[in-house]
Structure 1
Amino acid sequence: MGTLDHFESLYAASDDPWNVRGAWYEQRKRAVLLASLRKPRYRSAFEPGCGNGEMTAALAQRCDRVMACDGSASAIAAAAQRLRDAAIGNVDLRRCDLPEGWPAGGTHDLVVISELGYYFDAAALGSLLALARAHLAEDGELMMCHYLHDFDDRMLSTAAVHALADGLPGMVRTVQHRDADFLLEAWSPATLTGGAA
C-alpha cells in the first residue's frame, strides 16, 4: 500500500487517527509552534499536509487567509467539517498531491510544514522545500515541526528533514526549539534578518 493510500484508509476509518485534538503532545506542540511565530498576524499562510485541520483552525486565528492542502480526500473532508464547526471562513482547502501538486501562483508570508517532511524521500522533500522557498514572501517565515521518535512510516529522520531545510539558499534560521519529543525550527530570507544566523 502506498503512503497516500495508507493515509486515506486511516482518515476513512477515523477523522482523528492520531488524536491531534485530545493528545497533550499535539496540544502542546501547537501551542509552542504558535508562540514561536515571530509576527502577531500574517497576510497569507500555506499549510501543506493539513490533516484534519486542527493546526489549520489555529493558524486561521492569526492569518488573514490560509490555504491548506492534503493528499487524502477524507482528511480534507474532516478539515472542512472542523472549520465549519468553528465557523472559520478564511481558509481555502484543497486536495493535492505534493510536491508536484503545490498550488501555483502567489506567495505566502508563512509556510507551516508540520509532521509531514519525513513521509517523503530526500529528492521529493528537496522539491517540496524548493517550492516553499519559491513561494515565500521576502518578509516570510518557513516553520517546520517534526516528531523525534522513530515510527514505521518514516522515510527520513527528523534531523535529515530539517538539515535539508537548513540548506535552502538565501535563508537563515530564526527559531530553534528541541525537546524530548519534537524539533521545531523556522527560517526567513536573509534579506529580512540581515544575514545573521
Structure 2
Amino acid sequence: MGLAADSIITETDAPEPTDTYGRSKLDAERLLAASGVGYTVLRPAVVYGKGVKGNIASLATLAKTPMPLPFGGLDNRRSLLALDNLVAAIGHVLESDAAQNETFLVADAEPISVADLVGAMREGLGKPPHLVKVPTGAVKKIMKSFGREADWERVSGAFVIDPAKLMATGWQPSVATHDGIVAMMRAEAGT
C-alpha cells in the first residue's frame, strides 16, 4: 500500500522518492521535460484490479481468511486507483490539449480507510467484514514481534493523493474505490 504522509499530496509537493526505482522515474520525468518534446506525466496512486500484486494482494489474501482481522479501528485514509480509471486517465490526456507538458497525480475520487478496504474485499467475496477494533499500539507490537513492523507502517499510515488538477482538465474517475474493490474481489473469485 505504499508510504505514509501527514498531509494531502498534490503536484506542488516536491517528489521524494524513497528507492532506486522511484528516483529513476523522477530522473526520467526531468529528462523528458528538458528534452523539448511534448509530454504528459501521470503519477498514479497504488493501482488495483484483477490480478493485482503487492500490498493490495497481501491484504486480499488476508481478507480471504475466515478469521476476524484487527483492522476495525483503522480510520486512516489511503488513495487508490482502479485500473479502469487509470486507462480512462491515459485516454483523456492523450486527447487533451490542457494536459500537454503537465504532470498529474491520478487517484480515485475518494480515499478509503484500510478498515473499509478490507470490508469491501470481504463484501466482494460474499463474506461479512469480521473486523475487530484492537488498540493500534497492540497490533503494532504484535507485527513487530513477527518482524513485520514495516508492513504495519504501510497499512496504518495515511496517504491521500489529490487528483483535482487532472479532474480540472475534464477527467472524472468513473469507478468509486469501494465498488472497484468489490468488483476486483468478485473477479478474482470468479463470481
- Fold match, TM over 0.5? no
The TM tier, using the shorter chain, reads: under 0.3
Tell me the TM-score normalised to structure 1 length: 0.24
Tell me the TM-score normalised to structure 2 length: 0.24
More strand by share: 1
More helix by share: 2
